[in-house]
Chain A
Amino acid sequence: MLTPSYLIQQFINALNMGSIYALVAIGLTVVYGILRLINFAHGDMMTVGAYLALAVLSSLALPAWTALLIPVFVVAALGVLIERLAYRPLRGAPEVAMLITSLAVSSLIENGATMTLTAQPRPVRLPAELVQRVDALGINFAVMDGVIVALAVALMIALSLFVRRTTIGIAMRACSENVRVTQLMGIDVNRVIAVAFAISAGLAAVAGVLWSGKFGIVDPFMGFVPGLKAFVAAVIGGIGNIPGAMLGGYLLGFAEVFFVAFMPPEVSGYRDAFVFVLLLVVLLVRPSGLLGTREVNRA
């Protein structure tokens, strides 16, 4: 069973899942870093992105590549809008208040989609060149899988450059250190937060499009599970920390795939429990996640 090709195949599988988890986790962590908000509606941004991609792909009037771009911009705008309506009025309120509004937003999106679009899962058909399979030496993957990893890595690099090199990116990092001091420095915090939400939702949209493209399906609840897993990934890496979220995402992807790959079925049913035990162990050794810094009196 443990042939090299089997190992490589599972490695590729894990890399794929990890890339998507990482994208979702980064979006979650960017917002968390500034607002200390665990955004339970984050996964639903994936869902919206995926439905938009489906609409673009089935419209035929638009070229296929816009199925990635349009969702990103629309969902980023939606993220900013939600921030304005559901989170900004709560600035300065107890953190749990925003957690509840994010649950409410999530319920709005899921039930709204169920009411208007029905809960029937809908198929997503990608252009043929993306579905093509590469099969060599017993290793098999689709072009789409390569696109997922490449796009995820590219976006992560772009984001790292953005937060290091641009003014607004630096302001974002400053905000996640200390919002009040940043404000005193003359930074428009509202603008920084809006940008953070746009980035966060945009990344979720990308993840949603990739997810629905890879698996060929969208339904109103598709974002729930990956959203929750991304939360776990972000926490493993140290929530609020962008490289941490990437690391956490890949770790989660590898843990999940390898557990199923190398454990007998009697044990592999415990996969989700294993993931959380792993999380607990990580947290007990490093209470602020792998790359997180110790927070003083903030949570």
Chain B
Amino acid sequence: MKRLLPVLWIVGVMGLAALAQSALNDYYQRVLAVIAINIMLAVSLNLTNGFSGDFSLGHAAFMAIGAYTSAILTLPARTKAIVLPDLPPWLGQVELPFLIAILIGCALAGLVAFLVGLPVLRLRGHYLSVATLGLMVIVQVVALNWQPITRGARGISGLPPLTTLLWAYGLMLVTVMVIWRIVHSSLGRAMMAVREDELAAACRGVRVFRTRLFAFVTGALFASAAGALWAHLITAITPSSFSFLLTFNVVAMVVIGGAGSVSGSVIGAVLMTLLPELLRRVETALAIGGQPLYGLSQIVIAVLMLLVMIFRPQGLMGRHELIQVLAGLSGARNKPSSAPAELAGEAQRVA
């Protein structure tokens, strides 16, 4: 039965996605696709920021790599001859299916993450954060200057709109399931051990550097896939698409959901995608003297972020998973996991 459960869920979620794809109009499909993409981003960022304890601010860099790679690889050769005449001939001719383009993007992002991770992951704490932020700036600057490949500030537009709900939710499922399995494997426990106490983990035989690098590279792979999906949803990308604001937004999803909880990241992503969308409709409708209160939705979200952090600093889910919470609510059994989790939280309170 347990073996069968994932299959059942895959069928269930994909069935829902297929239903939504046929029944809902373009607007709702778009919002749903954005939700799936944000879930992928948040869950994959959580691998480093929540589980292995390396607070990365460079997620948009990997998104950009995935987006540009799949954009260039899927653009019809005829279009490329016009918009990207300076591409190397082999790249100008090539026209790949979406999945292969996504996979190549993932491979590239993974490679970059590996090469960058080797030196950068020697850093700790906020030094690591600023170094990963730097990676994002560097990728952005390269995209801005590498004219023959990226068209610079003009960006690449007219991408085929390949991102359907089936693609988005299919890849989202893969992301969440893979990361769920990682987190609940010995590798995941090694990550958490590194997060809590590097020295102790090393003493117990955890290969600290390797574990952190693994988390960083894996996160990059899925961020790249999310970037490719995003590119083919929006159909126009420029270097400024992958900005600080985007990174901060994903970081906020992770922290609000609860760094260290996979379901928390999912919830954070859903909330932080739906809320602005709903609030925007309210702000457009709410007009004082005929003037809609543009900016209100951002302000409400900022206030909500403040309140969530003040009343639940560990994020909505903390380090728990929804399953545990639901089980706890039903009063079926005491969770043996909660005591160590709180201890771990205590250990982090230094100041």
CA distance A277 to B130 in the complex (A): 11
One of A71-79, A130-138, A287-295 contacting the partner: A287-295
Report how many A-B pairs have Cβ atoms within 8 Å. 148
Q: Evaluate contact between A270 and B127: CB separation under 8 angstroms.
A: no
With A115-B296, A273-B138 as known contacts, state yes or no: A94 contacts B348, CB within 8 Å.
Answer: yes
Q: Is A114 an interface residue (CB 8 A)?
A: yes
CA distance A93 to B298 in the complex (A): 25
With A97-B314, A283-B127, A295-B125 as known contacts, state yes or no: A104 contacts B137, CB within 8 Å.
Answer: no
Q: Is B93 an interface residue (CB 8 A)?
A: no
Within 8 A of A (CB), among B116-160: 119-120, 122-127, 129-131, 133-135, 137-138, 140-142, 144-145
Q: Evaluate contact between A92 and B351: CB separation under 8 angstroms.
A: yes
> What's the dominant secondary structure at chain B's contact region?
helix
Q: Evaluate contact between A270 and B145: CB separation under 8 angstroms.
A: yes
CA distance A34 to B351 in the complex (A): 8
Residues of A close to B130: CB separation below 8 A: 231-232, 235, 279
Contact flags (1/0) for A131-172 with B, using CB distance below 8 Å?
000000000000000000000000000000000000000000
Contact flags (1/0) for B173-216 with A, using CB distance below 8 Å?
00000000000000000000000011100000000000000000
User: Which residue on B lies nearest to A86, using beta carbons?
Assistant: B306
Residues of A close to B198: CB separation below 8 A: 297
With A92-B351, A96-B259, A273-B141 as known contacts, state yes or no: A289 contacts B299, CB within 8 Å.
Answer: no
Q: Evaluate contact between B126 and A279: CB separation under 8 angstroms.
A: no
Within 8 A of A (CB), among B303-325: 303, 305-306, 309-310, 313-315
Within 8 A of B (CB), among A15-34: 32, 34
Residues of B close to A297: CB separation below 8 A: 197-199, 350
Q: Is A101 an interface residue (CB 8 A)?
A: yes
Some 25 contacts from A to B, beta carbons below 8 A apart, are: A36-B351, A38-B126, A89-B310, A93-B314, A96-B55, A96-B251, A96-B255, A97-B314, A99-B251, A100-B251, A100-B256, A103-B248, A104-B303, A107-B298, A112-B295, A114-B295, A115-B293, A232-B130, A269-B145, A273-B137, A273-B138, A273-B142, A276-B133, A276-B137, A284-B123
Return the 5 tightest CB-CB contacts between A and B, nearest first.
A299-B125, A93-B313, A276-B134, A273-B141, A104-B305
List B residues at the A interface (Cβ < 8 Å): 49, 55, 119-120, 122-127, 129-131, 133-135, 137-138, 140-142, 144-145, 197-199, 244, 248, 251-252, 255-256, 259, 293-296, 298-299, 301-303, 305-306, 309-310, 313-315, 345, 348-351
